[in-house]
Amino acid sequence: MIKETSESFETQSARLINWCKDHALPLWGTKGVDPSGGFWETLNMDASPATDSLRRVRVQARQTYVFAQAAHLGWYDKAKTVSDHGWDYLTSKGFQGAGAHGYDFAGIAHLLNADHSLHDGMRDSYAQAFLVLASAWRHRAFDGGDALNMLEKITGFMNTKLKADNGGWREGLPHTLPRRQNPHMHLFEAFIAAYEATDDKSYLANADHVFDLFEKYFWNAEHKTLLEFFSEDWSPDSDTGALTEPGHLMEWAWLIYNYARLSGRDVTHYADAMFETAITSGINPKTGLLRNEIHKDGTVTRGESRLWPATEFIKASVVRARAGVPGALDDAAMMIDRMFEYYLDVPVTGGWHDQRDEDGNVTSTDMPSSTFYHIFCATAEVDLCRKAAGLQAL
């Protein structure tokens, strides 16, 4: 329960929600949509589409999810139409290449060409996580049988064809190395969403399995951090096993608080430790932004700052605030303000700069559609926090 109020949070949260509702959703619901099918992978800084870009199918699933939840919240009057547009594309063009793996159904492919043909038919577990998420939210928002059927179908495929013998899920079809925590983090997110959408405890059981992996392998107790890359036997990868991403520390903190709420397990000490590590080792003192990557000992390995880690900082802060952590509302307000200062001050309102270097200079030249998933989810979490705090509805 939120134990405090924050004038700065009230102001900054309203600023972010209104920006998303009034500018970002209309921009990405029009300029971000390819009339011939699906969503553009990238918009240029003037909001024109990069028409020759390859398309990650998981981004199609992300945008489909975004507009489903936007419809559920009543934030954009065309949200269902846009989500339907993405769903139709995702479940047709996105399914190309399944037969090459020996299955009638194998979830979604990795990459499509600009003309919507198949470019890479690999079945990445990371991508399948977003098909689970999109299905869960479309079922929750629209109560449609097709989304529930897809949710059951893709989860069944994951648990029978992609489950690894030594825990977790394989990287995909074909299986590759190193193994990554990242697909499992997004499966954790997706199964939590599926449980909330259906009240089916089998999805919570899948989330339990991911959390067990976190405790056994991903969590590094010595440095109170999260490891990213692993060998086949889940030992840290010899080349990259000591790396961590501050944005992922924040994302796991958010997820673990939600998991604790739903499962009843007293595990938020992990989330608090990761939040603290991200603050002490991951913040660039020049900008106040989260760095992209650090060594587990805190050494900076990639000092630039993409936009999405800032959104994960906000999500972790507001879920901590909802649990009664003192000062968390002000943490969220501070990062919302920094996000506007460093990323959202662009000529096309509703767009963004995607990356700044260590000195705070803009280094990105376009707007990846994939980033909207992070921004929107953070905004929805901020809205939940406002409601929990009893603030005026927007």
Residue 253 within a domain: yes
Average pLDDT of the residues in 337-361: 98
Q: Rounded to an integer, what distance in angstroms lies between the CA atom of residue 86 and that of residue 268?
A: 35
Provide the number of structural domains found in the chain: 1
Joined tokens for residue 371: 């980033």
Report the alpha-carbon distance of residue 324 to residue 23 in Å, rounded.
32
Among 359, 353, 321, which residue's Cα sits nearest to residue 340? 353
Percent of the chain with pLDDT over 90: 97
Instruction: Give the pLDDT mean for 142-160.
Output: 96
Average pLDDT, the chain: 97
Q: pLDDT tens for residues 60-93?
A: 999 999 999 999 999 999 999 999 999 999 999 9
* CATH code of 308's domain: 1.50.10.10
C-beta separation of 377 from 370 below 8 A: no
Residue 57 is assigned to a structural domain of this protein:
no
Q: What confidence tier does 3 reach under pLDDT thresholds 50, 70, 90?
A: low
How many other C-beta atoms lie within 10 A of the C-beta of residue 163? 14
The DSSP secondary-structure symbol of 261 reads H
Distances from the Cα of 349 to the Cα of 45, 61, 344, 346, 353, angstroms: 10, 24, 8, 6, 11
First to last CA, the chain: 21
Is residue 278 situated within a structural domain?
yes
Q: Peptide bond preceding 178: is omega within 30 degrees of 0, i.e. cis?
A: yes
The answer to whether residue 184 sits within a structural domain is: no
Task: Indicate whether 152 belongs to any domain.
Answer: no
232 within domain boundaries: no
321 in a domain, yes or no?
A: yes
Q: For 122-148, what is each residue's pLDDT tens digit?
A: 999 999 999 999 999 999 999 988 999
Q: Say if pTM beats, i.e. exceeds, 0.95.
A: yes
pLDDT at 322 > cutoff 90:
yes
Would residue 255 count as lying in a domain?
yes
List, for residues 348-357, the tens digit of each pLDDT value: 999 999 999 9
Backbone phi, psi, residue 179, to 5°:
-75, 150
Range of the domain at 314: 1-30+242-394
Each residue's pLDDT tens digit, 188-247: 999 999 999 999 999 999 999 999 999 999 999 999 999 999 999 999 999 999 999 999
Distance of CA 123 to CAs 64, 140, 171, 311, Å?
19, 26, 8, 28
